[in-house]
Structure 1
Amino acid sequence: MQPNKPKVQSILMIVDGYYPADIRVRKEAESLALKHTVFVLCCRKENDQKIEVINNVTVLRDIYYKSFTEKGLIDMRLAINFVHPKFHEILPEIIKKNNINVLHVHDLPLAKTGFLAAKKYHLKSVLDLHENYAAALLTWFSWRKNPVIRLKNKLFFNCNRWQNYENRIIKKYDNIIAVVEEMKDRIVADTLIDESKITVITNSEKKDFVANFNTIEDSFFKAHKDQFIISYLGGFGPHRGLQTAIEGMQEVSKQIPNALLALVGPANKDVRNYLENLIDEFDVRKNVVIYGSQPFKEVARIMQSSAVNIIPHISNLHTESTIPHKLYQVLLSKKPLLVSNCAPLERVVKSNDIGFIFKAGKANSFSKEVVEIYNNYELATQKAANGFELAYNGDLNWEFTEKKLLHLYDNLES
């Protein structure tokens, strides 16, 4: 007798963000659309189409914020009772109209909103935790100086309150998705739920991302063509460890005079001023340059144009249970990698021998490893080659990761 085929699910993902801009949501949605019917309820910008089909995923942009102020007010309202009014209002219509039988909720802020809908309409429920949201609240706003913003965050985004909420809501879901093994371990320790309810879906990259590196014709850093480029690419939040890298350039510049730390990414005024002050404090103005936000199409060119790519995260409850997409993107660039010893980063890099590791938050350890890479660049290149092999032909890619996601959905009924 032939085994029963897995049931085709009608899945509704909800995310308080834009699609397809969120890389993790897009990869998961497109993978699930290989075997299931997938809808994504998300936010709409002024000129976005309200309904659009992208790679077999039906995107429903029914959530619209008239202004940044409205978004902020709704976030505060959400923080009071953990129910998002806009999503709560539209979900019944979308669920009934599209015969949804699985609700896939992205991240903690929408967890209660999603659960209430799943319970009311008897849907299977999946909560997808991208990060330790409660712990991140301690970090995200620590560089903000505006007293109104600081008061709002203290009142409405209190870490302990959100952590208690996470512990309660997790127990109500049928299945949990964690971004790394360390997050899975934390959830089990905090909630005592059966670990079989948790599937780890990490932020690995699709193998076809490598094509971005094959079309590069010139360096992103043409103005610094004779320098040893150490680049950081990403957000400029307090947990990113940029302060460690800037301080570390004091010693690096002494041993590698032509070294240049390039910080590439978006930064608000408070963050930019903080970093600029650090550059002056450590007297490394000649060896550090801050670039603004760059188009996503430049990501590959920046990585490949660098002598070494860094992920210098400081160690805290947030960074110890998440992992950035760019780790796996760097592997496909074939360029050397340097990371801090936050547990997920250290585990992936050390166990696969694909890069170098320094002690998080320690500028002297950062500078020591940069100099080691510079003096042993052939070894660094070999480690990079190991990384590429595993990211392209091994198990450090999305093609391997998506099998676990599809398996989860194949077995929802059991």
Structure 2
Amino acid sequence: MQQDKSKKKNVLMILDGYYPADIRVRKEAESLSLNHNVFVLCNKKENEKLKEVIKNVSVLRYITYKNFTEKGFIDIRLAINFIHPKFKTMLHRIIQQYKIDVLHVHDLPLAKTGYVFAKKYNLVSVLDLHENYAAALLTWFSWRKNIFIRLKNKIFFGYKRWQNYENKIIKKYDHIIAVVEEMKNRIVADTGVDNQKITVITNSEKKEFANNFKSQHNSFFKENKDKFIISYVGGFGPHRGLQTAIEGMQYVVKEIPNALLVLIGPANNDVKDHLHQLIDEFGVGKNVVIYKSQPFKYVVQIMKESDINIIPHISNLHTESTIPHKLYQILLSKKPLLVSDCTPLKRVVETNGIGAIFKAGKGKSFARHIADIYHNYEKSIQKAKKGYDLAYKGDLNWEFTSKNLLHLYDNLSS
């Protein structure tokens, strides 16, 4: 059945997460709402409205959990048959009530749930893969010590089981969205699906994000104004490569005695304990500081005030087929950028000449490139300015990326 391209489509996105907190989903929903009627069925936080319209997107927060324990049991139920019981309960009514034409499913866990309903109601189906979920399962919990968590993940969240599930469910969808070219190539190699069915929508940032760097706040680093600040802002999972940066600092301080590695983000006790053990092991307690998550206004202030912003991801099946939002956010800060040589990061940075690249997982390589930036800082600033120009005036921004999403929806057919 060919869709009428001139007709506004009623699009239902389903997200086992929060809106508008999920940056990727928010950008996609807002862009699609320019041409279509967009609804987002998602989870509800205690202080959020059950239903509201945000920037022309109708948000339906009908998925609720009593506590983390209930969420954990629901995740196990989902892992058994790949059907989410709470979304299953809500989808019948919402699809009929809002006369949905397209079901846009965010990420692998909801893929089968979405497909079942798309098939039942003859909807166009779109599966939006934010990351290599199966590969991420190998990494996310590797630092967790709780025996019950480790047992649960071993039984219900094994890599092979979820990878086989992905390979099968992908073939059933009308269209696939991949976050980077490397993911698209992996999907084609693993499943043999026609690459014309896959559209790449990367995690670039809106140009307006640059306005955040114009805001004036008290210096975040006022107590360390005499330090050479190397900053990481983001998640603290094992794949993030913070262990490499910590290891590298023992070599950095030999070249730059006043260097300070600042790690900022959310972390459970197991992760924080592991990082502090590494700090002690490498004897860099005076040169590494860990902060908890900070309000957004401080995050942009940190990026702007830092001498170098880093993305030190280790190389594995997960990081080789995804890319973080903060890469493009850092570009809009006009400050030097250092990334590991994970393929997507290396491709964007090296192709455009907008930063430095070190060998993933190698502390000495990290240190060598930090020192090179330090001793050739003006050259690094020029690369940063080029990165800003491409992110603001060129094609490394959401305004450019979203054209692919709109084109996909203009040509959707089941």
Q: What TM-score do the two structures reach when normalised by structure 1?
A: 0.98
The CA deviation at 1:219 is: 2.2
Deviations 1:189-246 (Å, cap 9, x if unpaired)? 0000000000000000000000100113442111100100000000000000000000
Whether the aligned pair in 2 keeps the contact of 1:178 and 1:184 (CA below 8 Å) is yes
Aligned match of 1:24:
24
Q: CA offset at residue 267 of structure 1?
A: 0.8
Structure 1 residue ranges, 4+ long, deviating more than 4 angstroms after superposition? none
Q: Partner of 2:320 in structure 1? A: 320
Deviation at 1:5, TM superposition (A): 5.4
Contact 1:7–1:410 at 8 Å: present in 2 too? no
Q: Distance in 2 between matches of 1:45 and 1:394?
A: 37
1:164 aligns with 2:164: yes
Query: 2:371 maps to what in 1?
Result: 371
Q: Which residue of 1 aligns with 2:141?
A: 141
Aligned to 2:268: 268
Q: Distance in 1 between matches of 2:297 and 2:34?
A: 26
Residues 82-91 or 296-305, more deviating = 296-305
Q: State the SS of the aligned residue for 1:333.
A: coil
In 2, distance between residues paired with 1:32 and 1:298? 30
Matched-pair contact (CA < 8 Å) for 2:311–2:327: yes
Instruction: Show the 5 A alignment for 1:70-81.
Output: 70-81=70-81
Contact 2:5 2:411 (8 Å CA) reproduced: no
CA–CA distance in structure 1, aligned partners of residues 159 and 148 of structure 2: 18
Q: Distance in 2 between matches of 1:30 and 1:230?
A: 34
Whole-angstrom distance in 2 between the partners of 1:161 and 1:18: 26
CA drift of 1:401 comes to 0.4
* In structure 2, distance between residues paired with 1:413 and 1:273: 51
Structure 1: state its 5+ residue gaps.
none
Overall identity of the aligned pairs, in %: 73
In 2, Cα distance between the equivalents of 1:45 and 1:310?
Answer: 31
Equivalent-residue separation in structure 1 for 2:217 and 2:292 (angstroms) = 22
- Corresponding residue number in structure 2 for 1:360: 360
Code of the residue aligned with 2:197 in structure 1: it is K
Q: How does 1:159-238 map to 2 (within 5 A)?
A: 159-238=159-238
Task: Give me the whole-angstrom Cα distance separating, in 1, the residues matched to 2:8 and 2:228.
Answer: 52
Deviations 1:246-280 (A, max 9, x none): 00000101110000000000110000000001001
- Mapping for residues 4-403 of structure 1, pairs under 5 Å: 6-403=6-403
User: How much is the aligned-residue C-alpha RMSD, in angstroms?
Assistant: 0.8
Contact 1:6 1:411 (C-alpha < 8 Å) held by counterparts: no
How much does 1:299 deviate?
1.7
Task: Tell which has more relative contact order, 1 or 2 (C-alpha 8 A, sep 6+).
Answer: 2
C-alpha displacement at 1:6, in angstroms? Answer: 2.8
CA distance in 1, matches of 2:204, 2:228: 28
- Tell me the distance in 2 between the aligned counterparts of 1:33 and 1:400: 16
Contact 2:53 2:59 in 1 (8 A): yes
Aligned equivalents of 1:389 and 1:106: distance in 2? 31
Which secondary structure state, in structure 2, belongs to the residue aligned with residue 59 of structure 1?
Answer: strand
Provide the secondary structure at the position in 2 that maps to 1:285: coil
- On the 8 A contact 1:104/1:126 being kept in 2, the answer is yes
Shift of residue 45, structure 1, vs aligned partner:
1.1
Residues 91-131 of structure 1, C-alpha deviations (whole Å, 9 max, x = no match) = 01000000000000000000000000000000000000000
* Distance in structure 1 (CA, Å) of the matches to 2:360 and 2:62: 42
Corresponding residue SS for 2:332: helix
Aligned residues: 411
How far is the alpha carbon of 1:410 from its aligned partner? 0.1
Contact 2:328–2:397 (CA<8 Å) still a contact in 1? yes
